[in-house]
Amino acid sequence: MAGDKCDFEQTFYFSPLPSIKLSFLQDRYTLQLLMKWSMLGRISAQSYSFDQSFHPYNSEKFAQSFFRDPHVVSSLRKMEAGAWLHLDKPVVSVDVEPVPCTKVSMELFDPIYSCGILRPSGHVVKCLHDVYPDYDELRQMLQEEDSEHYCVFGREERGELLFRLFKHLCVGGELCQYEETIDPYISTTKQLYKDLVSVQKDPETKKISVVSTVLKVCAYDESGRCYPGRGEEEQTFAYLIVDPFKRHVTLFYHSYGVGTFTL
pLDDT in tens, 173-190: 999 999 999 999 999 999
For residue 130, tell me if it sits in a domain: yes
132 and 152 together in one domain: yes
Residues 221, 183 within the same domain: no
CB 185 within 8 A of CB 166: yes
Note whether residue 187 is domain-resident: yes
pLDDT band at 7 (very low <50, low <70, confident <90, very high): low
Condensed to tens digits (0 to 9), the pLDDT of residues 213-244 reads 999 999 999 999 999 999 899 999 999 999 99
What is the number of structural domains in the chain? 2
Nearest to 112 by CA among 124, 127, 96: 124
The reply to whether 38 falls in a domain is no
Does 163 map to a domain? yes
pLDDT at residue number 5 = 41
> Are 194 and 137 members of one domain?
yes
User: Would residue 216 count as lying in a domain?
Assistant: yes
Q: Is 29 a member of any domain? A: no
Are residue 86 and residue 69 in the same domain, yes or no? yes
d(CA 221, CA 219): 7
Confidence at residue 195, expressed as pLDDT on a 0 to 100 scale: 97
Instruction: Report if residue 205 sits inside a domain.
Output: no
Pairing of strands 43-50, 14-16: antiparallel
Domain assignment present for residue 155? The answer is yes
Instruction: Let me know whether 9 and 93 are in one domain.
Output: yes
60 and 150 share a domain?
Answer: no
C-alpha span between 149 and 104 (Å, rounded)? 24
pLDDT tens by residue, 49-106: 999 999 999 999 999 999 999 999 999 999 998 899 999 899 999 999 999 999 999 9
Specify the pLDDT at position 4: 42
**Phi and psi angles of residue 158, each rounded to the nearest 5 degrees, phi first:** -70, -25
Q: How far is CA 239 from CA 202, 215, 231, in A?
A: 27, 5, 17
8 A C-beta contact, residue 59 and residue 96? yes
Partners of residue 79 on adjacent β-strands: 84
Residue 259 has pLDDT above 50, yes or no: yes
Tell me: do 8 and 52 sit in the same domain.
Answer: yes
Q: What are phi and psi of 165, to 5 degrees?
A: -60, -45
Q: Are residues 58 and 16 in the same domain?
A: yes
pLDDT value at position 133?
73
Residue 62 confidence (pLDDT): 97
Q: Note whether 248 and 17 are within 8 A (CB).
A: yes
The closest of 256, 261, 251 to 81, measured between CA atoms, is: 256
Q: Tell me the C-alpha distance between 96 and 107, whole Å.
A: 28
pLDDT of residue 11: 86
As a whole number, mean pLDDT of residues 201-211 equals 93
Same domain, 162 and 221: no
pLDDT digits (tens, 9 = 90+) for 109-136: 999 999 999 999 999 999 877 767 778 9
* Domain stop point among 199, 225, 244: 199
Residues 96 and 122 in one domain: no
Question: Are residues 179 and 232 both part of a single domain?
Answer: no
**Residue-level pLDDT at 3:** 36
> Rounded to an integer, what distance in angstroms lies between the CA atom of residue 35 and that of residue 25?
11
Q: What is the pLDDT of residue 8?
A: 55
Say whether both 87 and 73 belong to one domain.
yes
Domain holding 248, by residue range, is 2-22+43-100+212-254
CA distance 237 to 164: 11
